[in-house]
Protein backbone atom coordinates (compact mmCIF):
# COMPACT_ATOMS: atom_id res chain seq x y z
CA UNK A 1 0.00 0.00 0.00
CA UNK A 2 1.28 3.49 -0.88
CA UNK A 3 2.44 5.69 2.03
CA UNK A 4 -0.07 8.43 1.26
CA UNK A 5 -2.87 5.85 1.22
CA UNK A 6 -1.86 4.71 4.69
CA UNK A 7 -1.94 8.28 6.00
CA UNK A 8 -5.25 8.96 4.29
CA UNK A 9 -6.84 5.86 5.78
CA UNK A 10 -5.57 6.62 9.28
CA UNK A 11 -6.86 10.21 9.29
CA UNK A 12 -9.76 9.80 6.89
CA UNK A 13 -12.43 11.94 8.56
CA UNK A 14 -10.03 14.67 9.69
CA UNK A 15 -8.35 15.52 6.37
CA UNK A 16 -9.00 18.90 4.80
CA UNK A 17 -10.58 18.36 1.38
CA UNK A 18 -7.70 19.84 -0.63
CA UNK A 19 -5.17 17.80 1.30
CA UNK A 20 -7.14 14.61 0.69
CA UNK A 21 -7.08 15.24 -3.06
CA UNK A 22 -3.37 16.04 -2.95
CA UNK A 23 -2.41 12.85 -1.10
CA UNK A 24 -4.54 10.70 -3.39
CA UNK A 25 -2.45 11.99 -6.30
CA UNK A 26 0.66 10.47 -4.69
CA UNK A 27 2.75 13.64 -5.00
CA UNK A 28 3.89 13.72 -1.36
CA UNK A 29 7.21 11.95 -0.76
CA UNK A 30 7.75 12.84 2.90
CA UNK A 31 5.56 14.24 5.67
CA UNK A 32 6.25 15.91 9.02
CA UNK A 33 3.96 17.47 11.63
CA UNK A 34 5.05 20.47 13.65
CA UNK A 35 5.31 20.17 17.43
CA UNK A 36 1.72 21.27 18.01
CA UNK A 37 0.30 18.86 15.42
CA UNK A 38 -1.68 21.53 13.61
CA UNK A 39 0.67 22.00 10.63
CA UNK A 40 1.61 19.17 8.28
CA UNK A 41 4.53 19.75 5.91
CA UNK A 42 4.74 17.60 2.78
CA UNK A 43 7.75 17.36 0.48
CA UNK A 44 6.75 16.73 -3.13
CA UNK A 45 8.12 15.18 -6.30
CA UNK A 46 7.99 18.63 -7.92
CA UNK A 47 10.38 20.20 -5.39
CA UNK A 48 7.75 21.99 -3.30
CA UNK A 49 7.13 21.94 0.41
CA UNK A 50 3.42 22.37 1.07
CA UNK A 51 2.20 23.32 4.56
CA UNK A 52 -1.36 22.39 5.52
CA UNK A 53 -3.00 24.10 8.46
CA UNK A 54 -5.41 21.78 10.26
CA UNK A 55 -6.91 24.72 12.18
CA UNK A 56 -8.05 26.53 9.02
CA UNK A 57 -8.30 23.33 6.95
CA UNK A 58 -6.38 24.89 4.08
CA UNK A 59 -2.95 25.26 2.54
CA UNK A 60 -1.03 27.72 4.70
CA UNK A 61 2.03 28.08 2.49
CA UNK A 62 3.81 26.64 -0.55
CA UNK A 63 7.59 26.80 -0.65
CA UNK A 64 9.15 26.21 -4.06
CA UNK A 65 12.77 25.11 -3.96
CA UNK A 66 13.09 23.95 -7.58
CA UNK A 67 16.01 21.72 -6.72
CA UNK A 68 14.54 18.28 -7.30
CA UNK A 69 12.14 16.12 -5.35
CA UNK A 70 11.97 16.97 -1.64
CA UNK A 71 12.82 13.78 0.21
CA UNK A 72 13.43 15.09 3.74
CA UNK A 73 11.80 17.76 5.91
CA UNK A 74 12.01 18.68 9.57
CA UNK A 75 11.06 21.41 12.01
CA UNK A 76 14.44 21.91 13.79
CA UNK A 77 13.17 24.21 16.51
CA UNK A 78 10.34 22.28 18.14
CA UNK A 79 9.59 24.99 20.68
CA UNK A 80 8.77 27.72 18.17
CA UNK A 81 8.22 25.95 14.84
CA UNK A 82 9.40 29.09 13.06
CA UNK A 83 11.79 27.28 10.73
CA UNK A 84 11.66 24.28 8.49
CA UNK A 85 14.57 22.51 6.79
CA UNK A 86 14.14 20.63 3.53
CA UNK A 87 16.51 18.34 1.69
CA UNK A 88 16.15 17.49 -1.99
CA UNK A 89 17.17 14.63 -4.23
CA UNK A 90 19.46 17.15 -5.96
CA UNK A 91 21.51 17.50 -2.75
CA UNK A 92 20.20 20.94 -1.81
CA UNK A 93 19.40 21.76 1.83
CA UNK A 94 17.21 24.80 2.45
CA UNK A 95 16.22 26.67 5.59
CA UNK A 96 12.77 28.26 5.43
CA UNK A 97 11.07 30.81 7.70
CA UNK A 98 7.51 29.58 8.04
CA UNK A 99 5.99 32.06 10.49
pLDDT at position 72: 95
* 7 close to 15: Cβ distance less than 8 angstroms: no
Spans of the chain, pLDDT less than 70? 1-26, 78-81
pLDDT at position 78: 63
Beta bridge partners of 79: none
**Domain extents in the chain:** 3-97
pLDDT at position 20: 66
Amino acid sequence: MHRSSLLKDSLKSELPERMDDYLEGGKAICLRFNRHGNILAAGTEEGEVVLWDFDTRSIAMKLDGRSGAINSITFPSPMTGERLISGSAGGCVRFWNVV
